[in-house]
């Protein structure tokens, strides 16, 4: 599933590609998950933002086209797409050409094989109808976020640390891969239910490091994730624990273990990640 680095990679590419172009025509799969895509017909797409794992495409009439990629969602551009004959196309937006001429327009496509993605249109910044977005914690790279604030956010619950991170509430944008990587880097067990200020501070530093590296590497691609140009990320070669259960810990040499936590595979080092 795309996490912050993957969505941020797409956002950066979109920011250059949208350029304030008008949506000339739009369409979608009949599911209510995707039909709001049509609501921005006639509006210009003026900016590409991101909050956690959500893409926020601002329009010139004060709204936002909110796209969650789910597990297999991907955006791309095509000059002459086969709308009718494409079984995984869930939404599309035909954009005015960069020079304003309709005949050489191109279309932004949203493909989603497994249909866990979602599209919504809201007044800019008003996310009450999207609870996961409304409840999202601070952005990891928000300069106002420090170890103390993360510690306070984590102190609101006694659930396991990894469960809390995946909930998006203490901090936004972290999913299974980057949670495992950051917890390993910080030397903290994913099963811990309470950490102090010092470890919360170390965890924030670790989260920033692994997410920053993920962005620098254009995201992590194991199977589905593709950027706007259809390319893969390269961060999968830089992971220390995710996908390495049974291999030796890169820090202490002890065999990494894995277990299912919250229906997701968690990988950790039983020796150097303490409870
Ligand atoms: Zn270790």
List, for residues 47-79, the tens digit of each pLDDT value.
999 999 999 999 999 999 999 999 999 999 999
Nearest Cα to 145, choosing from 133, 153, 157? Answer: 153
Cα of 245 vs centre of ligand 1, distance in Å, is: 12
Q: Which helix (H) or strand (E) holds 159?
A: none
53 an active-site residue?
yes
Q: What is the mean pLDDT of residues 107-132?
A: 96
| pLDDT tens per residue across span 29-46 | 999 999 999 999 999 999
**pLDDT at residue 186 is higher than 80:** yes
Instruction: Note if 11 is an active site residue.
Output: no
Q: How far is the CA of 251 from the centre of ligand 1 (A)?
A: 5
Flag whether pLDDT at 215 surpasses 90.
yes
CA of 7 to the centre of ligand 1 (A): 30
> Above pLDDT 90, what percent of the chain?
90
Q: Return d(Cα 121, Cα 222) in angstroms, integer.
A: 30
Q: Tell me the percentage of the chain whose pLDDT exceeds 70.
A: 97
Q: In angstroms, what is the span from residue 206 Cα to ligand 1's centroid? A: 15
The 10s digit of each residue's pLDDT in 231-240 is 999 999 999 9
Q: Of 53, 118, 120, 160, which residue is the catalytic one? A: 53
Give me the catalytic one of 63, 115, 208, 264: 264
Given the structure tokens 């350029």, which residue do they identify?
Answer: 19
72 alpha carbon – ligand 1 mean position (Å) = 32
Protein residues within 5 Å, CB atom, of ion ligand 1: 249, 251-252, 254, 269, 271-272
Residue 177 to residue 182: CA distance in whole angstroms: 9
Cα(204) to centroid of ligand 1, in Å? 19
**Tokens encoding 90:** 């869930």
């Amino acid at each position: 599933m795309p996490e912050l680095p993957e969505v941020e990679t797409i956002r950066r590419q979109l920011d250059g590609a949208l350029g304030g172009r008008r949506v000339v025509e739009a369409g979608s799969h009949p599911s209510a998950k995707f039909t709001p895509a049509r609501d921005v017909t006639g509006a210009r797409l003026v900016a590409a933002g991101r909050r956690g794992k959500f893409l926020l495409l601002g329009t010139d009439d004060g709204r936002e086209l909110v796209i969650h990629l789910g597990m297999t969602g991907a955006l791309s551009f095509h000059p002459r797409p086969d709308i009718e004959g494409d079984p995984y196309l869930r939404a599309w937006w035909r954009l005015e050409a960069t020079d304003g001429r309709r005949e050489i327009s191109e279309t932004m496509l949203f493909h989603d094989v497994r249909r866990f993605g979602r599209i919504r249109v809201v007044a800019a910044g008003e996310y009450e109808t999207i609870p996961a977005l409304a409840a999202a914690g601070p952005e990891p790279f928000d300069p106002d976020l420090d170890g103390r604030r993360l510690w306070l956010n984590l102190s609101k619950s006694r659930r396991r640390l990894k469960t809390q991170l995946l909930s998006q509430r203490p901090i936004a944008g972290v999913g299974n891969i980057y949670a495992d990587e950051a917890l390993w880097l910080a030397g903290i067990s994913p099963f811990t239910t309470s950490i102090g200020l010092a470890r919360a501070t170390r965890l924030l530093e670790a989260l920033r490091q692994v997410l920053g590296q993920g962005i620098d590497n254009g995201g992590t691609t194991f199977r589905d994730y593709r950027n706007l140009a259809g390319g893969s990320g390269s961060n999968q070669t830089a992971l220390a624990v995710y996908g390495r259960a049974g291999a030796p810990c890169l820090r202490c040499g002890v065999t990494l273990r894995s277990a299912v936590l919250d229906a997701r595979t968690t990988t950790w080092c039983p020796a150097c990640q303490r409870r």
